Amino acid sequence: MKNKKFYLTILVLLIFILSACDSNTGESDPYQIVVSTSIIGDVAEQINGGILNIKVLLAPGVDPHSYQPTPQDIAAITEADLVLINGYGLEEYLNSILNDEEYNEKIVVVSEGIEIDDGDPHVWLDPTNVVVWAENISDAFAVLQTKNETEFRENARDYINQLNELDNWIFETIDQIPMENRVLVSDHLSMGYFADRYGFEQAATISHSASSLAEPSAHELAELIDLIIDLGLPAVFIGHDVNPELAESLTSDLGIMLVELYIGSLSTDEGPASTYLELMRYNVEAIASALK
């Protein structure tokens, strides 16, 4: 009987000690991070290295310009310790939350410090801007969880090295395109940062807007057709996550190529652009193939 009581006492003490350890270390309840797009989510995971919990609001293939948040999304943002967004108008669907002072302290605009081009939020199509993202994200993670600051900083440095290698590869690949062919027509104002970095002209867009939801007038469409014919352009580029109907009709009538790029979203894991680095390589190879 005494031995039974002794072992029962030891068991209770062990349970108490283990419970106390869990509550003190907080290992069972890591910080919760919410990010707006799959592209930001991928970059954040490169910095994170599996330390923090990261939830991406927009699934791969979802156009951020047309997205509407669910009640679950709102709850996730409300409960998050940190919210990472691109900013500069991309996340209009979150305006009611982003404009609420209650959430100001936990919202980080990863594009902070990047010179914005005519209201165009698509800064990530220039890898040197994603270097800024990596720095801003590592800063935010280091403040949130100081004990892992070294890991966050090292992960950021490693990823920035990969971004610099990507940048050099893009320049080498673009060199295959004659200068006179480096002209882009896209579905909406999204290619400006890419064009500025790599020596292209963004000659025109189907919609005169940084949003994929805008529709051109008949006059604007007629002007675009005349421009494509005058310049002898071989292709129009369109985001993989937008409605292709108008662009398909336009390119079919003109007898030119319609080339799909990954602009606002990654592909699924099985697709060709499941990471940011893969997205840029896919896009550059598609552009080079169309314009050589």
Q: What average pLDDT does the structure give for the chain?
A: 87
Q: Is the pLDDT of residue 18 over 60?
A: no
Q: Which fold has domain 32-170?
A: Rossmann fold (3.40.50)
Q: How sure is the predictor about 236, in pLDDT bands with cuts at 50, 70 and 90?
A: very high
**pLDDT value at position 152?**
98
Average pLDDT score over residue span 63-86: 90
pLDDT tens digit sequence for 119-144 = 899 999 999 999 999 999 999 999 99
Query: What pLDDT score was predicted for residue 16?
Result: 40
Q: Which two tokens stand for residue 52?
A: 């923090």
Q: What is the pLDDT of residue 10?
A: 43
State the average pLDDT over residues 84-106.
87
Is residue 248 a contact partner of residue 260, using CB atoms and an 8 Å limit? no
Does domain 178-291 fall under CATH 3.40.50.1980? My reply is yes
Whether residue 201 contacts residue 183, with contact meaning beta carbons closer than 8 Å, is answered with yes
Sequence spans of domains, the chain: 32-170, 178-291
Give the closest residue to 108 by CA, choosing from 125, 96, 91, 124: 91
Alpha carbon 282 to its chain centroid, in Å, reads 15
| Residues 188, 205 contacting (CB under 8 angstroms) | yes
Are residues 285 and 261 in contact, defined by beta-carbon separation less than 8 angstroms?
A: no
Domains 32-170 and 178-291 share a fold: yes
Residues above pLDDT 70, as percent of the chain: 87
Q: What is the pLDDT of residues 136-178, one digit of tens each?
A: 999 999 999 999 999 999 999 999 999 999 999 999 999 999 9
Q: Is the pLDDT of residue 22 over 50?
A: no
pLDDT per residue as tens digits for the range 260-270: 999 999 999 99
Pick 185 or 210 by higher pLDDT. Answer: 185
* pLDDT bracket for residue 279 (50, 70, 90): very high
**DSSP bridge pairs for 120:** 117
pLDDT of 29 reads 62
pTM: 0.86
pLDDT over 70 (residue 210) = no
